Amino acid sequence: MGIIMEGKTVSSALKEKVKKEVEEIKIKYGKTPKLTVILCGDDPASIIYVKNKEKACAALKIDSEVIRFDSNASEEEIKKTINVLAKDEKVNGILVQLPLPKGINERNIIELIPLEKDVDGLTSLNVSKLVRGEEGIVPCTPLGIIDMLDYYAIPLEGKRVSVVGRSMLVGKPLFNLLTNRNATVTLCHSKTKDLKEETRLSDIVIMAIGKPLFLKEDMIKDGAIVIDVGINRIDGQIYGDADFENLKNKASYITPVPGGCGLMTVAELLNNTIKCFYLQNRK
């Protein structure tokens, strides 16, 4: 059986580091870092994610605030709020929970977040820094995956990696992070001709497509490393994009769902909030 990559162990270590930094900031600056989340509409998954973010902030004594809009709020109303938060010195991080309701242009909203408050790393400036391999704020889920691979001392240089899913939140930033670490990355998606052919060649397969239990053992090579970003809710149960039970004896390392990448995402958000605090206060 492969080694199970425990999100709890890795995320706890990161949260412990963040907790110490929050305490240091309080002593040194007399301030408490603050994250503000914008939640529009009533998507049940988004409501759960935002609750988890609030709880995680509270546990580490980071201030947090959730500003809610109903699903028929106008783009102008949301933009006005972001512009106020952009100028508010008490707010160190601004996160717009995605997806936004239909009719609202995601780009128009996100681009209003100042670079140094962009905890999600989704503004064009942070995206271009990532593509160039410069220091910046990187989206939380891909960053969590890299930290998890590093924690288990899995080398990336020269490795063949299939990233399955090309979203702005996961697949595309992950492609860049892995490329910057000298991996050979194939970014696969719904139009990939023969997905199995790609994944079977790969040393590491990363699943982020939102299709429950999609990856099976005939799609990986012996000893491959499987990272599962999927969180698919069916009848109150959570399933990943990879079939853990089917894969666990063929993979050398594998992340479970739940208990894998999801825990890392929240810990990275807290860490990015601290990074943003320093970007604003160390000038």
Rounded to 10 degrees, the C-alpha dihedral 89/70/102/111 comes to: -10
> 3-state DSSP call for residue 225?
strand
**Shortest CB 99 distance to ligand GUN, Å:** 7
184/232 with CB nearer ligand GUN: 232
**Shortest CB 50 distance to ligand GUN, Å:** 9
Q: Which of 118, 120, 203, 241 is catalytic?
A: 120
21/120 with CB nearer ligand GUN: 120
64/141 with CB nearer ligand GUN: 141
Q: Which residues bind ligand GUN (CB under 6 A)?
A: 49, 95-98, 120, 140-141, 169, 265
- Report how far residue 93's alpha carbon sits from residue 109's, in angstroms, rounded to the nearest whole number: 15
Q: Which of 34, 97, 241, 275 is catalytic?
A: 97
Q: Which residues contact 56 (CB under 8 A, 6 or more apart)?
A: 15, 266, 267, 269, 270
Q: CA 210, 216, 221: angle at the middle one, nearest 5?
A: 120
Q: How far is CA 262 from each of CA 71, 86, 144, 159, 166, rounded to the nearest angstrom? A: 26, 28, 9, 24, 18
211 is catalytic: no
**Shortest CB 119 distance to ligand GUN, Å:** 9
53 is catalytic: yes
120 is catalytic: yes
Q: Which of 15, 34, 53, 129 is catalytic?
A: 53
**Shortest CB 40 distance to ligand GUN, Å:** 11
Q: Which residues contact 82 (CB under 8 A, 6 or more apart)?
A: 38, 94, 96, 109, 112, 113
The catalytic site residues sit at: 53, 97, 120
